Amino acid sequence: MRRKWSLIGISLILVSVFFWGGRETARQWLTVQAQHSAQQDLLNAIAEIRHALLRFYHLPYLLNNNPDVVALTLGDASITDEVESTLSQLDKAANTKGWYILSDQGKVLASSVDGDYITSQDLNAIVRDVHALGEGTSMVRKTKGVSPFYYLSSPIFSELNIVGIVVVQLDLRLLTDQWLASFDIMLLQNPEGQFFLSSSDKFSADALNDGDIDIQTKVSSLWQGDTIRVWQLDRTRYFAQTIQLDDLKWQLSYLTPISSVERNAAAAGWSVAMLFLLLFLLGVISYQRHQKNLSQRRIQALIEESEQKLNQMINKTQVGLLLLDEKGQVVDINAMAISMFGFTSEPNPDIKISQLIEDRHSPIVLLFDQYKKVIEDIKINAQESLAKRHDGSTFPALVSLTAFPFHDRHFYLATLLDITKRKKAEEALFEANTLLAQRVEERTEELHEAQAQLIESSKMAAMGRMSSAIAHELNQPLTGLRTLVTTNSVLFERGEGEKILSNNLLIDKLIERMVDMTTQLKTFAYNKPDKLDAITLPNVLEEVLRIYQQPLVRVNVRVRLPENTPSILAEEQRLRQVLGNLISNACDAMANTAQPHLIISVVAEASSVIVTLSDNGIGVEEDAMEALFEPFTTSKKIGKGLGLGLSICANNMRDMEGSISARKNTSGGMDFELIFQTR
């Protein structure tokens, strides 16, 4: 009894020691891992902040050379509404908080928002920095109870003098959107040490600045010499990483909760302690079992000595022979079988046939594993299996099994024939096929990577085409406007009023042309409809054809409609726009066609309606088909469009829960297929 209690006491002491050692070791290691992870997360956060702000830096420069903006800063208040409309469009497109045009003294001349979203204190700071530096600036401002704002500004020059300032206002809460799902906390401070942004609702910037939250810091060292900094915010401890962003003049602090490290360290300590306890108990049990096994082996040795060995196997045959008992254990084995399996001598008598055959589904293996009764007339002939040598290697063999009664006991005689040479030829063919398949997979992976790179290049090309298209489309009417305004000034001095009126008509046409371009851009960015209605397709199609009656005068138009065409889910205005754009494009494509024809066919299916518009125009080149529905893609001359028609059609069809596709037809023209959902 005393020995038992001593053993229990020693066990408890050792468990306590192993728990403390395991927990502390795990805590040290987990702390280092948490520090490394936090450092990487900090670098990622810095990159995300810079990337998020980088896309806004160029925005003020879009307007500092705009003629209307310069004219407004020089005192022309008549164009305030036009400038504010432009600011509103830019504000919506750039997803910013507000755009402002200031005088050189900081007075708000035009803005994209109603109300005072920018304080006089912020205005004065912006004007002061712009005049001091003479170039664009950026600054962050934080007022208690208000979201932090980030201002980007650019001076407006007239004859080398600053006459105004373009200001873009950003809500810095956009930086915290990517942190919402994390338990870590990001804190940003300005050069004065004031917190202006926090990713935690509990520890807000205002609460930290007011001192409502107690902040305690502590520095400690680990066993390997690493230094860690710990912040305690209202009884919650965090690992702290702090870095100064020199380009933004901000200080970024990244806080990682310590609680998970403590929990995992405690769990590791208990795991080590329990593992030791388990090993200790296993040792005790193994010792007792060892004593028991010694007794059983002595008894078994006496039994085995009383049995006679069966030595009638043919040792000179070229076939491997094994004598098996009713349990599948190898009782005897001939020389050829010993050579086949790589034994240096006769194998262990406890070895089973299942250990010599690798295939678990072999009939011979299943026979001894599944059948408990002796099968006296069993006979298995030339079963192909994979045999396993003593060193673990395998070789193919033909295995046969037959019943072999001997001295009133049931035995089985297994024969093995090595078929390695035959299998080598099969394996060579299999390896060749595998290598070919591997090469196909590698080539497929390379094609996937090339496709991803091509998609990225296509995106950049689309941005280039967009910039080029807008610049070309706007530069031409702007140049014309400048020339006509200059000409009108000369004609006014000469008193030639009729020519001035004629030029004014041209100016009006150029302005209408620019309005059409901006209308296309607004249509391209039009929001998705709130709901879809049941629309009668034939009525809308008839109305669109009437609208385009004049362009279709010389075109042979054929419309194929089924009886009782079901209503489709759509928005009537978008539906007209899709059909109108496709008919207009078909007319343009067939402008030089000798016998133009346009076929519009409608097919009703179970839950959809398919509309196909087919023309015999000039069609589209194969290399341009992939980018056909991308914005600013056009083959028309400058002044004939921005290349938004098909992109608007694709967006409208998507918003109406439908789809659009294009293909070349046999006549050289194009087929456009529209699929609508039925009600």
Q: Express each pLDDT in 253-275 by its tens digit.
A: 888 888 777 788 778 778 877 88
Instruction: Identify the pLDDT of residue 458.
Output: 57
**Residue 599 confidence (pLDDT) above 90:** yes
Q: Contact, 325 vs 310, CB < 8 A? A: no
Q: Place 220 in a pLDDT band, splitting at 50, 70 and 90.
A: confident
Name the residue with higher pLDDT: 354 or 557. 557
Cα→Cα distances 278→1, 264, 480, Å: 22, 20, 91
Which H helix or E strand runs over 86?
helix 80-94
**Residue 113 confidence (pLDDT) above 60:** yes
Q: Place 165 in a pLDDT band, splitting at 50, 70 and 90.
A: very high
Mean pLDDT in the chain?
79
Cβ-count burial of 436 within 10 angstroms (0-12 exposed, 13-18 middle, 19+ buried)?
exposed
Query: CB atoms < 10 A from the CB of 453, how many?
Result: 10
Instruction: Identify the pLDDT of residue 50.
Output: 80
**Residue 350 confidence (pLDDT) above 50:** yes
**Residue 558 confidence (pLDDT) above 90:** yes
% of the chain residues with pLDDT over 70: 85
Q: Which of 34-38, 141-145, 155-159, 197-201 has the highest mean pLDDT?
A: 155-159
User: What's the rounded Cα separation, in Å, for the pair 267 and 261?
Assistant: 10
Mean pLDDT throughout 321-345?
78
Instruction: Identify the pLDDT of residue 401.
Output: 81
Mean pLDDT throughout 326-338?
79
Sheet holding 149-158, edge to edge: 108-111, 98-103, 161-171, 149-158, 137-141
**pTM value?**
0.38
Instruction: Identify the pLDDT of residue 638.
Output: 46
Secondary structure (DSSP) of 568-615: EEE-HHHHHHHHHHHHHHHHHHTTT-SS-EEEEEEEE-SSEEEEEEEE
Mean pLDDT throughout 372-388?
73
**Residue 550 confidence (pLDDT) above 60:** yes
* Least confident interval from 216-220, 299-303, 421-425: 299-303
**Residue 592 confidence (pLDDT) above 50:** yes
Q: Contact, 322 vs 333, CB < 8 A? A: yes
Cα→Cα distances 76→66, 69, 82, 123, 195, Å: 14, 9, 12, 22, 41
Nearest to 612 by CA among 548, 544, 671, 678: 671
Q: Contact, 504 vs 516, CB < 8 A? A: no
Query: Hey, what amino acid is at 352?
Result: K
* Least confident interval from 103-117, 285-299, 628-642: 628-642
**Residue 612 confidence (pLDDT) above 90:** yes
Mean pLDDT throughout 175-190?
72
Name the residue with higher pLDDT: 40 or 88. 88
Instruction: Identify the pLDDT of residue 525.
Output: 46
Nearest to 14 by CA among 273, 202, 256: 273
**Residue 611 confidence (pLDDT) above 90:** yes
Question: 563-591 in b/e burial notation, b at 16+ Cβ within 10 A?
Answer: eebbebbbbeebbbbbbbbbbbbbbbbbe
Mean pLDDT throughout 55-75?
87
CA 70 to the chain's CA centroid: 43
* Least confident interval from 281-295, 306-320, 366-380, 559-573: 306-320
Residue with tokens 């078994």: 300
Strand segments, DSSP code E, in 293-374 are: 320-324, 330-333
User: What's the rounded Cα separation, in Å, for the pair 611 and 259?
Assistant: 62
Q: Place 658 in a pLDDT band, splitting at 50, 70 and 90.
A: very high
Cβ-count burial of 597 within 10 angstroms (0-12 exposed, 13-18 middle, 19+ buried)?
middle
Helix, coil or strand: residue 385: strand
